[in-house]
Amino acid sequence: MQIELRDIRKTFGSVRANAGISLLIPPASIQGILGENGAGKSTLMKILSGFILPDSGDIIMDGSRVVIHSPADAIRRGVGMLHQDPLDFPPLKILDDFILGRRGAVFPDRRKAAREFRQLAAQFDFDLDSEAYVDTLTVGERQQLEILRLLWFGAGVLILDEPTTGISQPQKEKLFATLRKLADQGMTIIFVSHKLEDVELLCSRVAVFRQGELVGSAEPPYETKSLVRMMFSRDLAFTGRTSVPPGGPILSLRGVSLEALRLQIRDVSFEARAGEVIGLAGMEGSGQSVLLSACAGLAQPVSGRVRLGENDVTGLSYHAFMKRGVAYLPAARLEQGLVAGLSLADHFILSEGVGGIFIDRGRAQDLASDRIRTYNIKGAPSHQVESLSGGNQQRMLLALLKESLSLILLEHPTRGLDIESTLYIWSKLRERCAQGAAIVFISADLDEVLQYSDRVLVFFSGRVSPPLPAEGLSVEKLGGLIGGKGWDVLASAAVAHG
């Protein structure tokens, strides 16, 4: 299906999210949409998928002008969209979520649906059990489920909004192969991302957005420099690892074993020292999240001890960990970290306990504007958190962290963020380290792991490597370990050291 957008405009209050965008997307191709956070990519995609109506402008599909009134209307016309936060139903079974909204007889043929689900999943090599509950899935798996569902609902145009932010490297390769296959079959794919490498690897054409405008386009072979210039119209500086000599141990795990749904982790020992950054690398679902929740007191080890500083905290609750200066920032920002419906100022009131029983609105307002400025958040104290873009939500989470923390645990701290926000977030985290905090983080981005960690723990289906100094690792070596290669060498080296 060919899609033409003509002079699409959309403003939110004073923000011009789309300022007159015209774009022609031919069928059987992968159109990349590139731009930093807040550039207006998601807004345009929501317009195309019927989620919001444009203020003005036309959508022309295969030569005829259409008005897309609702997402259901869009999918009837064959336009399916995968949202940044998957719009699914966490308490339902996967199969129910899969069927929900599909038209048909009053009693859906569950067996047939399950069979078709399995076939689709197998085609993409997605490992999903149709009888499991959606809330047991990782964000990445929930995205997979949504992709399968959209295909099953008959999407001929597939819009993917930052899809690679949730999935592991091999899953990403699988996805890319599938998208190419679908494009070859005549499907129109719109791939929204702020990741240059993904776009360059996958897309047959790229349109670059900046501040609500289409500022340029490119075709392969891509020139990274010119794309970056279009995205930011400026150059960016890197802050890498700083070598602060690590202090005393803040977190130490001794022989910790954990058991999760389809996974067992045996006998993990490591220490995170003051000022140190530990990266947890591995495919999604290899055990990193479980280990990180154990460090936060959210998962309980079946054996082994967890210590915070001098204290044995094995078996204590998250609350007890929090009281000892541990902060945990999970991956699903809006679901676990921020409270939808509350304003930015409200969040600061909650986290700081401003003014005892009665809320001192004035002080809260000052505090909020102060933090918003320090953390460079694009939003006002009165805005609700869910109206912030992903990068700004992440900054908000950082801004909410208490002043004195000894241990910061992060899941995908920069997932879905553009380069500028990523650099900013890490500079802020580095400041925390300089103040004596230890950081343990999970990332699917190997470059990020190598660039910011002092030491790295690699996970491969429940196996955990000893802490490896990041200097001695290369992307190739780390990638191999994540994929299960090179572990025997690692084991013998550890024995030689030990």
Partner 1 sequence: MTLEIALVGLAGVLTSAAPILFGVIGETISERAGVTNLSMNGKILLCAMGGFAVALATRSILLGFLAGAAIGGLVALLLAFASITLRQSQVAVGFVLTLLCRDLSYFLGNPVMGTTGPSLSMLSIPFFQDIPVLGLLFFRQDVMTYLSFILVAAAWVFIFRTRPGLMLRGIGERPAAAYVRGANVNRLRYLYTVAGGAIAGLAGPIYSLSVKAGWKGTISGLDGIGWIVLAITIFGGWNPFRAAFGAYLFSLLQWLGLVLQPALPGVPSQVLQVAPFPLMILTLLFVNIGNAEWVERSLSRLPEPVRRRVARALRALKATPPAALGTPFTKE
Binding site for Mg ion (CB under 5 A): 42
Residue 71 C-beta: closest distance to partner 1, Å:
4
Q: Shortest Cβ distance from residue 1 to ligand ADP (Å)?
A: 23
Least distance from C-beta 37 to partner 1, angstroms?
19
What does the radius of gyration of the chain's CA atoms come to, in whole angstroms?
23
Choose the stretch contacting partner 1; rule: CB under 8 A; options: 100-108, 418-426, 427-435, 478-486: 100-108
Q: Which does 40 bind (CB under 5 to 8 A by kind): Mg ion, partner 1, ligand ADP, none?
A: ligand ADP
Across the beta sheet with 3-12, what order do the strands follow? 15-25, 3-12, 56-61, 64-66
DSSP structure class, residue 331: S
Looking at the Cβ atoms of 96 and 213, the one nearer to partner 1 is 96
37 near ligand ADP (CB under 6 A): yes
- Three-state helix/strand/coil letters over 123-169: HHCCCCCCCCEHHHCCHHHHHHHHHHHHHHCCCCEEEEECHHHCCCH
CA-CA distance, 443 to 414, in Å (whole number)?
Answer: 8
Token code pair at residue 417: 């963020």
Euclidean distance between CA atoms 27 and 184, whole angstroms: 10
Closest CA to 312 of 229, 248, 254: 254
Q: Considering CB distances under 5 to 8 angstroms, the limit depending on partner class, which of partner 1, ligand ADP, Mg ion, none binds residue 422?
A: none
Among 32, 40, 57, 282, which residue interacts with ligand ADP (rule: CB under 6 A)? 40
Query: Exposure pattern of 9-48 as b/e (b: 16+ CB <10 Å)?
Result: bbeeeeebbbeebebebeeebbbbbbbbbbbbbbbbbbbb
Q: Which residue is nearest to ligand ADP (CB)?
A: 42
**Interaction partner, residue 90 (partner 1, Mg ion, ligand ADP, none; CB < 5-8 Å by kind):** partner 1
Give the whole-angstrom CA distance, residue 38 versus residue 15. 10
Residue 317 or 492 having the CB closest to partner 1? 317
**Which pair of tokens denotes residue 149?**
């569902």
**What's CA 56's distance to the chain center, in Å?**
32
Helix (H) or strand (E) holding 210: strand 205-210
Does residue number 70 form part of the binding site for partner 1 (CB under 8 A)?
Answer: yes
Asked if 236 interacts with partner 1 (CB under 8 A), we say no
Residue 317 touching partner 1 (CB under 8 A): yes
Which range of residues in 96-104, 225-233, 403-411, 478-486 is near partner 1 by CB under 8 A? 96-104
Contact 63, 74 (CB under 8 A): no
Site for ligand ADP in 369-398 (CB under 6 A): 387, 389
Among 258, 260, 256, CA closest to 268: 256
* Binds partner 1 (CB under 8 A): choice among 63, 64, 107, 356: 107
Residue 221 lies near partner 1 (rule: CB under 8 A): no
Minimum separation from the CB atom of position 318 to Mg ion (A) = 30
Q: How do 455-460 and 463-464 pair as beta strands?
A: antiparallel
In the set 51, 152, 176, 232, which binds partner 1 (CB under 8 A)?
Answer: 51
What minimum distance in Å lies between the beta carbon of 275 and ligand ADP?
Answer: 33
H or E element at residue 217? strand 213-218
> What is the nearest approach in angstroms of ligand ADP to the Cβ of residue 379?
7
Q: Are the CB atoms for 417 and 428 separated by under 8 Å? A: no
Q: How far is the CB of 91 from Mg ion (least distance, A)?
A: 26
CB closer to ligand ADP out of 8 and 354 = 8
The binder of 406, among partner 1, ligand ADP, Mg ion, none, by C-beta within 5 to 8 A per type, is none
**Interface with ligand ADP in residues 9-28 (CB under 6 A):** 12, 15, 17
Binding range to partner 1, per CB under 8 A, among 67-75, 359-367, 469-477, 487-495 = 67-75
80 is a site residue for ligand ADP (CB under 6 A): no
C-alpha 298/C-alpha 317 separation (Å) is 7
Strand 311-312 to 303-308 pairing: antiparallel
Q: Which of 189, 273, 245, 267 is nearest to 462 (CA)?
A: 267
| Residue 106 touching partner 1 (CB under 8 A) | yes
Judged by the rule CB under 6 A, the positions of this chain that interact with ligand ADP are: 12, 15, 17, 35, 37-43, 387, 389
Judged by the rule CB under 8 A, the positions of this chain that interact with partner 1 are: 51-52, 70-72, 75, 87-92, 96, 99-108, 133, 259, 264, 299-300, 302, 315, 317
